[in-house]
């Protein structure tokens, strides 16, 4: 990192696993764009390796996962492992979707920086992601 604040936050969004519910992630992507962020949505069925590869290529500040099929713990763990393996440590991971309250803490313990279950207001989602992005671009 050069220490210079980037003009735009760079957010990589992805749907891991087999889940196809993409209403939420598209809405989040559109809202982030309207807030001035640069958004790369990778689409469905992304493996941890594919997401890490994209995050490196795009020099992402934040990776956002959306999971509505209940496998949020498994896919987050895999992504964090893949980030470590690729020495990708200057990116914040956030997870949204159908996340039972008890799993919010578990996800944070795994190293997920923020969790936004169904019901989180869209402006709140945008603020929290952009705040994390700003932290990641800080020297």
Nearest to 42 by CA among 61, 71, 22: 22
> What is the smallest separation between the CB atom of 26 and another protein, expressed in angstroms?
5
Task: List strand residue ranges (DSSP E) for the chain, in order.
Answer: 10-14, 38-41, 62-67, 92-97, 114-117
Q: Does 30 bind another protein (CB under 8 A)?
A: yes
Q: How far apart (Å, rounded) are the C-alpha atoms in residues 66 and 17?
A: 10
Name the segment binding another protein (CB under 8 A); options: 2-10, 58-66, 83-91, 93-101: 93-101
Residue from 4, 5, 7, 23 binding another protein (CB under 8 A): 23
Q: What are phi and psi of 66, to 5 degrees?
A: -125, 125
The residue ranges that bind another protein (CB under 8 A) are: 17-23, 26-27, 29-31, 41, 43-44, 47, 69-71, 74-75, 98, 100-102, 117-119, 121-123
């Amino acid at each position: 990192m050069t220490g210079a604040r980037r003009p735009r936050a760079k957010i990589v969004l992805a749907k891991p696993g087999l889940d196809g519910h993409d209403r939420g992630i598209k809405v989040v992507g559109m809202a982030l764009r309207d807030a001035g962020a640069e958004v790369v949505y990778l689409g469905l069925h992304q493996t941890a390796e594919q997401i890490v590869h994209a995050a490196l290529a795009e020099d992402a500040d934040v990776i956002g996962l959306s999971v509505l099929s209940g496998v949020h713990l498994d896919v987050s763990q895999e992504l964090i492992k893949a980030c470590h393996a690729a020495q990708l440590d200057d990116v914040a991971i956030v997870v949204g979707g159908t996340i039972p309250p008890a799993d919010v803490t578990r996800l944070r313990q795994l190293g997920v920086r923020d969790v936004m279950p169904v019901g989180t207001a869209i402006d709140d989602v945008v603020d929290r992601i952009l705040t994390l992005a700003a932290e990641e671009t800080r020297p």
